[in-house]
A = this chain, B = another copy of it.
């Protein structure tokens, strides 16, 4: 029996913490449930951006220069597609395309996204289990000043520029969580849940919008913590602060803690915001949460693990009989 941590994550920002955790945890010590609300059909292909980012990052294949996609990528497909008048607003590298084509083929063949993802991770030698939040279609739809739009439309084509008034996760109410996520949440070896520093609204809420997810995380015996995606009043990456403002929420770590409400027992705060710790009614651990280097990723991972440990110790202290 080997304990493991379950991480709920979106794409790039969350994957950094996942890589840190993979590096400091023992083999098999990490399982990752990934947002699929951003998944979409493009050029007839099924694209799962957050799964791919997570897989590329944890397998050491990610493109450090671009901040997304594969290292050593070529772009011939895109160059020729342009001459054909095809849609080029979503950039697909030649190597990246292999994953989309093969996944699409296997899905059309009746395989589940979770099976395919597990197989890809195994073929690429990952020692961390990565699974989609669900094998069913859940699609993030954004209500904006320019009307409703699909996530990638908002995120990539419109570069997050339209003002958001609401978000919904189409299909979430009917979707089941993936078998691997279900098994992870019910496993006696699960030792803690970490919400990655991904965008709470765009990346984490789709996962939490699944009815089984709220129920099982709510009924958990283990601590659940979140790592801040906000430093001061700014997002470390992406449009988190902008969206908070548009939704009428003051961008601040306090807003994030409030957003996750009763779901989390602890919060990893940035050292720069340490003064806010007193205003938070939960366990707090502070560290420099900016993750540029591998050491940074390991530091934040260690802070998250320390916080989980502190919460467990505190519980043992409160319940000496257990």
Give me the interface of A with B, judged by CB distance under 8 Å: 43-45, 70, 72-74, 76-81, 83-86, 93-99, 101-102, 104-105, 108, 119-120, 123-124
CA distance A42 to B73 in the complex (A): 23
Residues of chain B within 8 A (CB-CB) of A108 are: 44
Nearest CB on B from A24, distance (A) = 27
The answer, among B44, B72, B120, for a CB contact under 8 Å with A101, is B44
7 contacts between A and B (CB under 8 A): A76-B94, A80-B96, A84-B120, A85-B119, A85-B123, A86-B102, A97-B97
CA distance A105 to B95 in the complex (A): 20
CA distance A43 to B102 in the complex (A): 7
In this complex, what residue of B is CB-closest to A101?
B43
Would you call A101 and B81 a contact (CB within 8 A)?
yes
Would you call A77 and B102 a contact (CB within 8 A)?
no
Assess A93 versus B76: contact at CB under 8 Å? Given A99-B84, A124-B83: yes
Majority secondary structure of chain A interface residues (helix, strand, loop or mixed) = helix
Would you call A97 and B77 a contact (CB within 8 A)?
yes
CA distance A95 to B44 in the complex (A): 17
CA distance A319 to B51 in the complex (A): 75
Would you call B105 and A77 a contact (CB within 8 A)?
no
Nearest CB on B from A141, distance (A) = 22
The answer, among B77, B84, B85, B123, for a CB contact under 8 Å with A94, is B77
Q: A76-B93, A77-B97 are in contact. List 14 more A-B contacts (CB 8 A).
A: A43-B101, A43-B102, A44-B44, A44-B105, A74-B76, A74-B94, A76-B76, A77-B101, A78-B98, A80-B98, A80-B99, A83-B123, A94-B94, A97-B101
CA distance A96 to B81 in the complex (A): 9
